[in-house]
């Protein structure tokens, strides 16, 4: 937990682009243009409220370990941490997409033991184990669609938004694992010790979402 004020960890990229207008609606405006700066930490128009810009997968870590009081991250990266070390009080309903399995269109028979490529290895493991299906998980960091094309994997677990990337690479979505959207997470100690300040922020954000 940050010693004073509120430190909010934001996810850079597409989530940031959608979150900044929402923050502004909630009355929180960065002191400078985040998209034009190489800085990673910013003051805001509210005394004591500061914003950090991180990779999405690092946001839950900062919040859980108390280096940020609040985090804004995709449900996919939150699920992937598998952690219950923070609260998740609010769905901002931004950057919505689906986490799905996908496979080559022409593939009509699955091998006995599937090889599944994903960035989300923990989610993929949990999903197939829940189905009682033994699979080999292959960790990749991007361009997952290439894995089935190149014979590295039989299927992938990935984010699907418009479905264009799958289609362009001869793949089709198969099973829905989870509906994804941007969530607010809160450090557990901060929720107690900075309760009024955090509730006020959550209320402003909730209003902005509505
Ligand atoms: C995500 C995902 C797909 C693509 C899906 O990648 O991994 O590749 O978006 O979007 P679509 O359904 O609209 O085509 P992203 O662009 O976030 O890059 P990444 O590979 O670095 O995750």
Average pLDDT for 139-144: 96
Q: What number of other Cβ atoms are within 10 A of residue 161's Cβ?
A: 13
3-class DSSP state for residue 46? coil
Distance 108 CA to ligand 1 centre (A): 25
Q: Are 89 and 195 in contact (CB under 8 A)?
A: no
How many helices (H) and strands (E) are present in the chain, helices listed first?
8, 11
In the predicted model, is pLDDT for residue 188 greater than 70? Answer: yes
Question: Of all residues in the chain, what percent carry a pLDDT higher than 90?
Answer: 92
What pLDDT is attached to residue 1? 64
Write the residue with the smallest CA distance to atom 7 of ligand 1.
Answer: 159
In angstroms, what is the span from residue 173 Cα to ligand 1's centroid? 13
Q: Integer distance in angstroms from the first to the last C-alpha of the chain? A: 29
Closest CA to 81 of 54, 96, 65, 60: 60
For residue 198, pLDDT beyond 80: yes
- Please give the distance, rounded to the nearest whole angstrom, from the Cα atom of residue 165 to the centre of ligand 1: 7
Superfamily of domain 6-95+181-209: Periplasmic binding protein-like II (3.40.190.10)
The pLDDT score that the predictor gives to residue 3 is: 66
Residue ranges of E strands in 105-210 = 114-118, 135-139, 155-160, 171-180, 182-187
Q: Cα(189) to centroid of ligand 1, in Å?
A: 34
Q: Which CATH superfamily is domain 97-179 in?
A: Periplasmic binding protein-like II (3.40.190.10)
CATH fold match for the domains 6-95+181-209 and 97-179: yes
Q: How confident is the model at residue 199 (pLDDT cuts 50, 70, 90)?
A: very high
Q: Report yes or no: 147 and 138 within 8 Å, Cβ to Cβ.
A: yes
Each residue's pLDDT tens digit, 17-73: 999 999 999 999 999 999 889 999 999 999 999 999 999 999 999 999 999 999 999
- Which ligand 1 atom is at minimum distance from the Cα of 160? 12
| Domain spans of the chain, in order of start | 6-95+181-209, 97-179
pLDDT for position 109: 73
Task: Report CA(19)–ligand 1 centroid distance (Å).
Answer: 18
User: Environment class of residue 166 by beta-carbon count within 10 Å: exposed (0-12), middle (13-18) or buried (19+)?
Assistant: buried
Polymer length of the chain = 210
Ligand 1 atom nearest the C-alpha of 13 is 17
Least confident among 34-38, 83-87, 98-102, 142-146: 34-38
Q: Is 176 exposed, middle or buried (0-12, 13-18, 19+ CB in 10 A)?
A: exposed
**What's the whole-number average pLDDT of the chain?**
95
Q: What is the average per-residue pLDDT within 199-210?
A: 96
Residue-level pLDDT at 35: 87
Closest atom of ligand 1 to CA, residue 97: 12
pTM for the whole thing?
A: 0.93
Mean pLDDT over 124-136 rounds to: 97
**Contact residues of ligand 1, CB 6 A cut-off:** 142-143, 158-165
CA-CA distance, 115 to 37, in Å (whole number)?
41
The string of pLDDT tens digits covering residues 101-121 is: 999 998 777 778 999 999 999
Residue 100, pLDDT score: 98
154 and 135 in contact (C-beta within 8 Å)?
no
Residues 35 and 87: their CA atoms lie apart, in Å, by: 28
Nearest CA to ligand 1 atom 2: 159
Q: Is the pLDDT of residue 10 over 70?
A: yes
Mutate to test the pocket of ligand 1, among 74, 120, 159 (most ligand atoms within 8 A of CB): 159
Nearest alpha carbon, ligand 1 atom 18: 142
DSSP one-letter string for 95-120:
S-EEEEEEEETT--S--SSEEEEES-
Closest ligand 1 atom to 143 CA: 20
Among 128, 134, 158, residue whose Cα is nearest residue 146: 158
């Amino acid at each position: 937990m940050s010693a004073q004020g509120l430190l909010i960890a934001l996810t850079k990229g597409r989530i940031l682009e959608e979150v900044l207008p929402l923050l502004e609606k909630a009355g929180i405006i960065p002191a400078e243009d985040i998209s034009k700066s190489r800085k990673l930490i910013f003051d805001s128009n509210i005394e004591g409220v500061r914003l950090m810009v991180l990779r999405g997968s690092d946001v839950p870590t900062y919040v859980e370990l108390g280096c940020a009081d609040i985090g804004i991250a995709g449900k996919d990266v939150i699920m992937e941490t598998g952690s219950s070390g923070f609260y998740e009080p609010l769905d901002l309903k931004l950057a919505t997409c689906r986490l799905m399995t996908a496979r080559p269109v022409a593939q009509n028979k699955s091998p006995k033991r599937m090889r599944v490529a994903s960035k989300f290895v923990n989610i993929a493991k949990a999903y197939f184990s829940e189905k009682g299906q033994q699979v080999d998980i292959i960790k990749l960091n991007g361009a997952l669609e290439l894995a089935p094309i190149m014979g590295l994997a039989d299927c992938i677990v990935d984010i699907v938004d418009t479905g264009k990337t799958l289609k362009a690479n001869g793949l089709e979505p198969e099973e829905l694992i989870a509906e994804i959207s941007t969530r607010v997470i809160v450090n557990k100690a901060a929720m107690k010790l900075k309760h009024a300040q955090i509730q006020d922020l959550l209320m402003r954000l909730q209003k902005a979402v509505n």
